[in-house]
Structure formats: C-alpha cells, structure tokens
Chains A and B, each alone.
Chain A
Amino acid sequence: MTFLAVLIGLFVLAYLAIGLVIVRRPLIGRIAFREAGRRPGQTAVLVLGLMIAGAALFSIQVVYDSMYDTNRAQLLQQWGRDDVEASDGGAYFDPGLAPRLAGEPAACACIAALQNAVITTGSVVDLTREVGKPKVQITGLDLAAQQRFGSFVLAGGKTTLGDELNSGGVFLAAPLADALGAQTGDQLRVWSRGPVSYDVSVAGIVRREGAGAYGFDHSMFASLPTAQLLTGRSGVNLIRVSAAGDGDAEIDSGRSAAQALRGLLATDGASLQVLEVKRATLDLLIKQTQSGRPFATSFAVIVALAATALVANLAVMLSEERRPRLAVLRALGLTRVGLVQLSTTEGAIYSLLGAIAGLPTGLAFAFIILHGPGLPQGHLVFSVRFASLVGAVAAATLMNLATVFLASLRITGMSISSAIRDLPESVLNRRASSKRLALMSIAALVGFATILSGRPWLVLAGGALIIAATAGFAQGRVSDRVRYSAASAAAAAWAILYFQYGPTDNTPGNFAVALVVTVLALSVLVATNLSILELAAGLAGWVSAGLRATLRPGLAYSSRRPLRSGLVIAAFSIVMAMLVLAQNLIAAQVSNYRLNSGGWDVQAVVAGTDHLSLPASLQPRVARQDEFPSRMFLGPVKWVYPASDFRGTTDWQQGSVTVFGLTQSQIDSGIGFPRAGDLTAISREPNLVASVEPVGSVVSLATNHGTLSFRVVAQLRPTSGTGLNSIVPGLIASRATLDLLSSSPPGAMLLLSAAPGQDAASLARDLQRATLSEGADVTTTRALLAEDIRNSSGILTFVLLLMRIGLLVGVSSLGAVALRAVLERRRSIGMLRAIGYQPPQVVAGLLAETAVVATAGLAVGISVAYALGSTFNKALVGAEFKPDLGGTALTVGLVYVAVLLVTFLPALQAARLRPAEALRVMG
C-alpha cells in the first residue's frame, strides 16, 4: 500500500466519521455550518491560514512532477528511437554483425531497426576560430539505417538524414558549435586515438533534437566511414537498436527487443552486452525523483509545520472567543464529546476549504519556484497530476484537522458558569493524573525503544522524547516555568550536541529531526521566559511611566500566554533557521575558493592523447604543476553505494567514467583536496580508487576484458553542492589502473598553481594558445567553480525561495494573530481606552507585542542555524560555517518591515475602537 493510498484512506475515514456525526446528530452539523457561515470575514481569515499547508505541499508536488516530466521529455528526446544498445565495453567488432542479426529469419518483429555505430571521445580544434574543446563525443552512424532513428535538424530548420555527411564532413551539436564558435564550412582538427589528428570540415550545425539530441552536449556526428577514419579503426563498437512501436509502446517493446537481441547474439556466438538504454535511463530518473521527492517535500513540511502553528493559534483563539456560546450549549446538555465533535466538524469545513484554496496558491508557488534560477534547465513541462492534487489536499486537510481537533480539546474542561459570563477560568494546581502518568510512561518507553534502534535520527528523537516525558512526570512537583525551562534547555542541548558530536549521519532525516527538536525546544524555552522582557519594560518605566504603561499589556500578553507565543516563535524560527542555513551554504561555496580549488588555479584537459605538458616558456609562471594521464571509459556502468546511502544500487547504464592515473609521488603528496579515507591505499591495488562518492562505493565498468570493479577507499571533497569535483572530474587511481582500461580512449589533465604575482586568467589564456594544436581546453579553476555554483545553486535557490514563502507564513501568522487579538480583546481594549489609553498607545502596544514575538522567533531561528550550521555545512559542502551576516541582516530587516505592516492595520483598527462600543461586546 502506497503512502498516498494511506493518506487518502485516512482522509476518507476522517470525513466519513464527521459525516456520521452530522447524520446522527444533525444539530451539531447545523450549528457547525451556521458558525462557519456566520462571519464570512472571520471564516476567510481562518481559511487563509489553513490553505498554507496545502499550498506548500501541493507546490512541491507540482515542482517535482514538472521536473520529472521535463527531464523525461529531455531524456526521450536524447535517446530518440534508440532503445537498446549492444557493445563490447568499447572494443571494436565486426560491422557485419548487425546486418547478419537483422537478416536472421528468427529476428523478432519487436526489433524495428539495427544501426552500426562508432562512439568515442576526442579533442576538437576549430582551426578557423582557433578554439579547442576536449571530451567531445564522436558518434559515427551507419546512415543507411538512419531512417528509423530519425532526422537531424539543422540550425536553419532543415531536416536531413545525414546525406551531407557522406562527403566526409561532420555535424556539430549546437552547444559544441557555440563553445567553439564554429560555423558551417569551418575546418576542424580531431584527435581521437593517440597523437595522430585528422582534419574534417563542418557540414552543418544540428539542434539538440531528433537524431542530433543523442549523446553529450559536446557531440560531433559523422558517417561511419568518417568516424572510422577519425578513430583509425575499421570496425564498429556499438549496435543501436530501435524497438517497434512509438512512444511508450516503443519503450515497452524495448524489453522484448533486448531479449531477442541477446538470443540472436548468443546464436551468432558474439559476446556483446545488451542494455535497455532508454528504459534504464527512465528508471534511473524515476528512482532519482522518488528519492529526491521526500527530501524536497520535507522543506514543504517545514513550511506546513509553520502554518500549523498559525492554525493552532487561530483555533485556540476561536475557541476562546466562542467560549460563552459553547458554555451555553454545554449548559443545555451538550456533552464534552459533543463539544469536540462540534468544533471538529466546523474545523473540518475550514480544513477542507483551506486545502482546496491552497491548490491555486500552490500552483502559483510552483510556477515561481520553477521559473527561479537553476530549476530545471531547458523547455519546462508544467505538470499537475491528479494524484499530487488529491494527496496534497488529503495531507493538508488531515494536518489541519488534527490541529483543530487537538485545539478543541482545550476547551472541553471549561467551567460552564464562568464561561457563560465570559469570566476567567479558575486555574487549579494539578498534580499529574494517573492517565497522564501512563501517557508519559509510554512516551518514555517509546523514547528508549527508538534509542535502542541505533539509527542516529531515531536516537536523537528518542532522547528528546525521554526528556519531554521526564518533564511530564514532574508536573505539579515544580513550577511550570522551571519544568518547561529545564526540559527545553535539556532537549535543545541534547539535539545540538548529538548532532555535532554524535555518529555521522548526513541523511536529510537526521538533520530534519535535529532542526525540529532544537527549534521546538528553544521556542518553548524562550516563550516560557519572555517575562524577562517585562523586566526590560520595567527598566523603561524608570525613564517614563507612560512608556511602561504603553508596553506592559502587550508584553504581558506575549509573555504570559506562552502557548500562543511559542507557536508563533516556532513558526518563525524553523523557517528562519532554514533560510540562514541556505544563505550560508551559498556564501560558504562562494567564499571558499582556496578550499574548493584544492590550491589549483588552472586546469588543462586534452582527449585523444595521454600526455599534456607545460611549454617551457610558461614554466617560470607556475609554482606547482601535476600532469595526470587518464582513460575515458564509455560504456555500461553500474554503481553500488554503501548501505547508508539512499541511492542504493543503480542499474547498468550507458555512461562515461574518466579515470586519472597518479604516480606514487603524486599519491604521497595528495592532490590538494581535503578527503576522508586513505588516499595512499590506491597504490596498493589497481582496483582501489578515490572519488567524490562515499568510501565503500563500488563502480563497475563492463569492458571488453570483462567487468572491472573499483572500490572507493578515499572520498574527495566535492567542489559544490552538486556533489561533483569539477577540478578532478573522475576517479583517482594509480597509474597501474590505467593499464586495466587500455582499450578506452586516452586523455590527460594538467593542473597548475600560478606562481606568486601571476594572474591565473592570463596564464590560462597563454596556455590555451600554446596547446591549441593539441586540442587542449584550458580553464581557470575560478571559472570552473563559478560554473559549479551556478549548477548547484538551483536546489539552494529552491530552498531559499521555499523558506521565504515560509517566512511569509510566519509574518502572515503574526498578522492573523494581531487581527484575532483585536477581535478577542475588544473589551480589554475598550477598558484601556476608557481609563485613559490614547489611540497611539494602543497601536504601540500591539506593535510591541508582535515585534517581541517576531524578534524571539528570529533570534531562535538564527541561533539554531548557528548551532547546527557547522555540522550542516561540513556534511553538505565540506566547508566551514561562515555566517552571511549581510544576508541575514537584510532578511531580518525585511521581516520587521513586513511584521509592522501586517500588524499596523489591526492595531489601527484597535485604536479606532470606541470605548463604549468595545465594552458592549459580549463573547
């Protein structure tokens, strides 16, 4: 049973139960509906508050659905009609094999076409423009079979099956042409295997659609004979297979086609590996979407939690406002259960309306997020799924309904006589009841059980639960203030210390639990002790008694109603913490050039040859240099990640893996990047490598010599939040490892540190000029890191945007609370006005009240971010926590402005109340 089914099931059950109540007790239903419709303005405020959870949850589902559909459309375009591929790990084989297989009488009708191909990588220099690019995918195609595999679309819009390539020219994919500045007719020099180059002319620039969408962005297409000339080999190294059918039917028949091809190959005695390339890529996309969706949804849940705090506040206020009327119903014979049923039924109406109202808002949020920088690239498919819509409505409704239900329990214990006259409830000094003791015992046992599970996030949550249970046991033995303060301080300390110094666990769950526990604990601690602020107001009283009189009621409302204040503080602080953390992550990446670059200033890469040396003329300008020969494997790849990694095991994929070979001295001196694990271990065995992937990961490459597996023994620090290291983009191994990959195209990389006083950009330009004839691509590491930041900023921008929406929730919650406060306190305000409060004093008091709560929320949020930031930053980008003070100050400033704006109108409304009118209001 899927989570969605459970969610919908619970939603249906909840509303069936409410429906049953309405049928069996029509009076409750009638009163609930009448109350909901009695004050449309008030209902609108409630529904606005209740819609936020739905909007947040729905927006993330739409974002993910859209990203999935966009990426799926791109993948389908990239693979075109190529569904299955057969290869021998890059090795060349008889080009007669494909025609033989196609001519087999037993060939399956599920195979629509077979196409011989050559795929390799090389360096390309545009001799006309004097610009070069390495790592270009060179795809040679048997154009006689091109019909089924689709047409190329030339830059001018003309479609062609590649006739232009028969005269020895090549097509350049538009991104490669842009990078080279190439035009049709330009002369290119291509290195593919070894130092021998071959010159070709550009026959056309092709768009990344149709047949031209195949392979890397930096792709070059040629006829099979031209590709064979470029590689110096007479055979082919790939058979592309198009399955019968179109669209999804084609993908489905790909499975039969792959099986049929395996059978045909076995009959023929060929030992090629057959991969369902299109399906496998789509499966990977589904897996990535499934694993990423909970991560992104967790941010939406943070916003929804903030909204829940608002809903809880509104529900508590509403129940207090209704207290006299509810008391009359109790007096007339409505039971406590009936009271809960009444409140919950009314809440169910608001919850459903709120969740539905959240849909258009969620769509708007999703639109904003999807059109923000970095998410996703290319043509966007804006996708709204029915399942997402229903799921978001169900989840948001249940969250809100649960909140309303819990809030309604508060009023059941009211004293009917006091409530009818709207007099204060008398407070009894309660000691812990047996029911409460049982509940606390269960909570403590659950806490111990989760600790025993050993999983870090469960241990963290379990510890917090035990602390809360202990505080529950102490009820009636010490004052509430002492109890809450001690428990919350202990829980916050526990969460911070365990997160910082406990077992390493970089999963989102661990961070989320640490964040939520710390925020809640500190919010309770601050809300319980807000009365300290009253001391400050007392000090102000020494200066001006009038100022004290102005501030006192507002501060007292904040400090002496810790539940309400705590909820708003928690709402503010959780999103503020996330916002500060995300801002600092971006700042950390930008500001850590030395750390991220590994001390290197210039990177030069070449393909086709395993040697790239620094010209003698540039030697004096370089302080340090290292040359790394490499092999670029292009073929079936499979990753197995450690058990703690959510990615698990991937399927075999057509992919490319570059392996850099280090000398012993290079291994001993390291290559500049911080790492976990022992880099020197890679010299012990050729199958041990270093990578940005976690220690213990295993990557398998299906070569023509069989499957080669490499185990990661040292983890290199990535250069950005994408998890890649763009300075050393591949596996780091010993030189001996390169011998295992002798059939893969060679390459080389040269890393340079500029001598003191030398400009890296100038050095890169001069090196580019000097190595152009070798097809090298020279870049400054600063440019590479900037590109990294652009690529990785998408997710951070997404988090920032979502958290800013969350802050809006916090601000709105203060506005709603202020508005409700004016309604709820009309009589108190009337009394204050009667005994002499001037209207500006009423405004100032309410503004002070909201400002205090907002300040507390911001302070808690920033404190939590600072407390957890160090570990969070190290885990995500391996960087020290460097607070973005400017960004934080700007956010705080904007929040204050927004808070004052949303509070000012209700405050003004309060100030304009005529005392006699306000005092007349009853209940």
Chain B
Amino acid sequence: MPDWKEEVRSRLSRSGLAPEREAEIVEELSQHLEDRYEQSLASGAAEGEARRSALLELNEGDLLAHELRRVERPARRDAPAPGSPRNRNMFGEILQDLRYGLRTLRKHPGFTAVAVIALALGIGANTAIFSVVNTVLLRPLPYKDPDRLVMVWEDATRSGYPRDTPAAANFVDWRDQNGVFEGMAALADQSFNLTGMGDPERLEGKRASASLFQILGVEPLLGRGFLPEDDRPGGPRVAVLSHGLWQRRFGSDPKVVGRSLELNGQSYEVVGVMPQSFQFPSPEYELWVPIAFTQQEAASRGRHYLQVVARLKPGVSFGQAQAEMSTIAARLQQQYPEQNADLGAAVVPLHEQVVGDIKPALLILLGAVGFVLLVACANVANLLLARAAARQKEIALRVALGASRARLIRQFLTESVLLAALGGVLGLLLALWGVNLLKAFIPDSISQVRAITVDAKVLGFTLVVSLLTGLIFGLAPAMQASNFNLNETLKEGGRDAAAGSKGKRIRSLLVVAEVAVSLVLLVGAGLLINSFLRLRGVEPGFKPSNLLTMSAVLPQQKYPDHTRRTAFYDELIRRVEAVPGVKSAAIANWIPLIRQGDSTSITVEGQPPAEPGKEKMMVTRVVNPHYFQTMGVQLSRGRAFDESQDRADSPGAVIISETAARRYWPGEDALGKRLAVGRVESPDDWLTVVGVVNDVKQFQLDAEPRPQMYLSYKQAGFFAPRYLIVSTSVEPLSLASAVRNTVWSVDRDQPVSHVRTMEDVLSDSIARQRFTMLLLGIFAAVALLLAAVGLYGVMSYTVAQRTREIGVRMALGAQRRDVLRLVVGQGLKLVLIGVALGLVLAFLLTRVMSSFLFGVSPTDPATLATISLVLVFVALLASYIPARRATKVDPLIALRYE
C-alpha cells in the first residue's frame, strides 16, 4: 500500500506548521487519500490507477501548503483577542481569558509582583488569624456533645468574684438538688511529688469526682476511669495518667495499668491512661485521683476551692439550668445565712469558659486583618485602574471589533481573580509560616494552642477570600474600563484618556478609603502600644531584676507538721544563701503576678465584726525575714521580721501594705494596732502590726492593689511556703542548677519546678497584651505601607499624566516650588480627607477595644493626634517623590510630548 503520509508530508514541507499540528493534518489527509484509494479499488480500478487518482487529490501541492499557511499561521502568531465575536463557547472563552490574562500579567512583571505581594500580605494575614480562630473558637472541644457541658461557679459578685470556686458542701447540695444536669463533677487542685523513679518531679494534678470522665464523655486509652467506690473517703488510692505523663515517665508502656506510683510519699495504683486529646481542665494537669471528700470536707461551706463541671440533660437550655441553679442557691442562702450570704450560682458554657479570655482579642484581630485585606484590595484596584487607563486603546480596539461589554468585564475579572489566586497561593505560604510564628506568641493559657493547624476549613476560607478579593478589587476597574465612550476615546487620541475624570475620581476615592482604614488600624495599634507601655511602666512594688524563682512544695505526708516544714526551710535558706553568687534567699507561699494566691478575712481589734459577705479581706503572704530585702519591697514604717524577735513562740507579728493601713485604719497610724486572722478564739490569736511596706502588684499589673499582709512562716502554719526566691549578684538562671542541687542536698526526693527569673514572670503576666499589641502593630504597619504605596502610585500616575500641563506651567514661568506645591498639595488633600474620615471611624470602632486598654481612653487625643501626624508625614513622603520628579520636567520635552 502506498505511503500516503510520506506523500502528504512532502507537500507540507513549506507550510511552516507546528509539529503537532502538522502530524494531525498529515494523519487526517492520509486517511482521506486512503479512502479515495480504497474506493477506486472497490470500483474495479487497477492498483496503479487507484494510486494516481488518489494522488490527484493533492495536485497543486503548493496550493495546499499555501492555503494551510493562510489558515493556520495567524493563530500561531496570536490567539484571537478576547472579546472578538468568535468562538462563543463558554469554557473555551474562559480558558482563552485565562491564557490571555496570564500573558498580560507576564508582560508586566513589576505590576504583577506588587499586586500579588499586596494581596498575599492581606490574604496571608487573614488565613493565619482565621486558622487560630478556627482552632480556638470554631473547633468543638474534644469531648462528647461538648455544647451540653457547662462550668458552675459560685456567684459572689458582691465581694468582687462573679465566678468564684465553690465550697464542697455547696457542690454536694447543687448536685443532689438539681434536676437539669445529667451529672456534676467537682475538681480540686492537688500537686504531687513523684518519687521513687529517677529525679523527683512535681506534677500538677486534680482530685476529681468519679463521674468526671463520663460527664466529659471521654474513654480512657488504657485501663479504666474511676469507679464510684474509688470516690469514697478511705477508698483505694488509684490514679489516672495523662497521655503526656504516660509517654514521658513510662515510655508509653502498654502494661502500665496496675503498676504503682509513689506520689507524695504514698503508693497509688495506675488504673488508666487518657488519650492525647484529653487535657482537662488544661494541659498542665497530668494526673487525676478520686476526690473522695471526707465527711468534714463535704460539710464545709467556708473553704472555696472547687471547680465544677456538669453536663446538661438533653433538651435543657443554659437559661433553664441557670434558673434552676439560682433557685437552689437562693434556698441555700436562706438555709445558711452566715456562710452563703449573697452567694448565687453561675452557669457558664464550657466553651465560653475555655475561650472567653482570648475571644475578644481574636475577634479584634480578625477585624483588623479584614481591614488590612480591604486596604490591599483598594491598592490593587488602584493599580488595575491605572493599567486599565493605559489599556484604553486596546479596549477601544476590541469594542470597535465588536466585543460586548459583558465580555470585556469578564476578561478584566478573570485577570483580577487570577491575580487574587496567585496572591492566595503566596498568602497561604505566608500563613503557614505565620501560624508557626503565632504559636510562639500565643499565651500558653490557650490550651488548644498546640493543635493550631491549617486544615481544610482554613483552605476553604482562603479560597473564598481570594475569589471574593479578586471580584471586589476587579469590579471597579472592569466596570470603568468597559464603560466608556468609544468616540471620545478615539478623539482624545489616547493622550488624556487615562486621566478621564471618572477614573481619577474612583482612584482618589480609593486612596481616601485606604488612608481612612489604615488610620483606624494605626489608632488601634497605637492605643494598644500606649497601654502596653503604661503597663510595662507600672511599678510592681518589687525589684524583678536578678531574681531567680522556683517552686518546691513539701508533701503533706512527708512533712505533716509545721515544725518539720520549718526545719526544712531553715536549712534550705541557710544552704542556698551559702551558694556563691547568691545575695539572699526568701520563701513565700506565692510569688507575685502568677494570678494565684491566698486571701483571708481578718478581724481588726476595736472594730465591730464585719457582716457576712462584707468581710475585711487581706491578700496573705507567708514569708521569711529576708523576703523584703530579697524582693526589694520597701519598708516605709516600723520593722521587718527578725529571726530572733519573731520565733514560733514569740507574740504574733504582722506586716501590712500601705493600702491595708489606709483601708482598715483610716486616719490612724496602723503601727502597733492588732488584727487576727479569721475570728478571735483566744487572746493568742492577735497579731501586732510591726511594719508597713509598699504595695505590691500581687495578682496583675493592671489591677489596683488590694490590702496585703505578710506573716512569718514560723508563726503561720496554715499557709505553707511553696516558692523559693533567690536574689543573685550574677545572671539568675546561671545559678538554677546550683540552687536545685542545694534543694536536693537537703531532701533528695524534693521536686523543684517552675524555675524562672522574676523578670520572666513579670513578662509572662502581660503576654496576652503583648500578643495582641504585636499583631495589631504588625497589621497596622502593613496597612500603612500599603496605603503609602497606593498614594505613591496615584501621585506618580497623576504626575505622568500632567507632564504636559506641568511643562506648560514651567514654560510660563512656574518655579519648581510651585510645581512641588501643586503635586504635594493634591496628595495632601486626599490624605486629609482620609484622615478626617478615619478619625470618625476610629471614634466609632475603638470603643470595642476599651477592655484591652490600660490607662488610655479609646479616644485618647494624644494617640489620635500622633497617629494622624504619622500618617500625614508618610503621605507627604509618598507624594513628595513623584512631585520631585515633576519638577524635573523639561518644558521643551514635555511640550513635544504628543
């Protein structure tokens, strides 16, 4: 059979087709020849005859190549411009638009880079913050039906504690009397010293009701939870381990159930291990034991120390639960008027309890990144508008060729969505990196922090945001570009078309909006920075430099009485103070600014006992004599504690703070007055005020100091010291292991934990504020940068457009100064309108931030003024550069510019 392909190919040699296309044509044509050949044979022709008749089809071989060249060539040089009325096939058109868009973007790499980076910043910031919001606020808690879980608190609003930890007897009454909860479990803090296996370690754990795991609906990974018979005084000593503890101390031993543990000097049997996701109430708790109230404990309404979690019965609402609990609390008030005066009950959804602290901050940040994205959109819209103006001729041509308006809009939108998609991809990369950064900044107290990831929901969010972004910033330029008068454009000869008054107005408006939104962000950031600086400047009442702190809690079983504990601490202080580099050592039940501490009610001699619910409260610190000098707390009157004067058997002494002196002995000298802890049962209970010291911020820097008192650890047995504070003459952490070893030299089994410098404690206490401030600051800076770029773009563009006008002015004698004033003045006008608008917006919006502010009002005039000035300054700079370029215009050249 003849080789048709060869025949065809030889005749196409000069058609200059692309190889793939040529192969296709060759195949099709040879098939045709083959058909003709076969038909000739079938109608009785001889082989040679059939071959000739087939080849006759190819006669005028040159004609074939020539015709094909005519048909195929133009396509290879350039696809038909989108908008031309050919190929009306939706999918094909979109593909065509995409290809065309990509080519246009590639042709202007500078423009594309600026736009994509701006979008990536906006989209990336949104994705990063959304991934945090998604994890922390949107993802359900890792329990069964988590929306039916609540925390129940004592509502002691009258005493300043709207969510106070319940007393055991109240918990028991709540549990037994309510009809709204399926179950109710109590938890109490319990620290354990783990010994007998390697280095001693201090573990934070919880005593918990046996029903805890059922209420939360979480099955243990290994073994079992608690049985009702475990939760009984004198019941078996059993423990459930967290996943982390099981991994860390037991090497994930699958046979750990049944092993025994030495906790606080007593042996416990491991009965279960919880799954990794179980972190209740927060990740630092690694161990649970049955709460097993003693009879005495279960009857106590005076000590408030529990946390209560409960599960609503199906169909019961939070409101119903709250109403029922309030009724029970009111009944208990009547029943126990002394202890339960003014005491209500507060039902709080568990989710709100967990995320309540961080929620407002996250929402504000989400709003802020939304603003950043808006600014980025305005910016890119501006760039696109400028470019659309420059493309006016191209568009005119297409319209002349019959492109419809819808088709043009679609082409423009395709380009902007393409830009947004590129921005989205880059933004996602930024977000992946940013999320890791965020994890480092988010305060540890947000327990889910470790799980923050970019999941499908986040990806979906990014996709939607990117597409929306593309549509938003693409719409204005598309509408504008497609909505113009063909005649006018052609008449204007493309010279002035771009400065068409409408486009200019939109662009100016966008700049005004950018400036306004940036101003709001900057004001927000400014207020937070201002607050933070004030917070940092708060005098904590002690000197945090060169202080090393650590916790060493003595186990009750090993040190059951005051004498033994005192002996341990005496020896410890003596040895630590002998360590080279140590100036002095102190002990205290709590260190400041960790949001934990003991408070007690007092009786003041000569004053009537307080009514129930209105007791005189004192933040109570149990310390050694060196405490004040170690911490740098100043004695203002009287004396500090003294080894010889304040022994266990000496008359009781107390040192109080200035606020305590003023509050409880108003108008008198507190020195020498007497007070008692709780009620006075015997004359020995009276403590004499021997000194007054300055106030210390015991709980948080942004709260007013409460009355405080200090007791000597030798005289006050009821609050055991937990912390060791060492004042050093060298870098504090360099002594950490020396001091730890010293503790172990006194008791090999005594765990040491929470080793930190006091400066770290101070800085951690304002971590949340720092987090919010830093992020908002970064976002505001990005917005400012984008706004400046936007303004710069508009001004450069205006200058380019007005080159001829400027040339004329200069030819007519205008000075460079006049030109500068002309251009900068125009930029300034836009900025001032933007600032005015922004101030109004800021005025309306910064109110939502008032709970984040410290010492500054949301409308702080100084902040508003400073920020406005900063913005105006940046704007001046952004329009000065193009203005300078304008002054360099050579009138001759400008006039020839036609």
Does chain A bind chain B? no
A contacts, CB < 8 Å to B: none
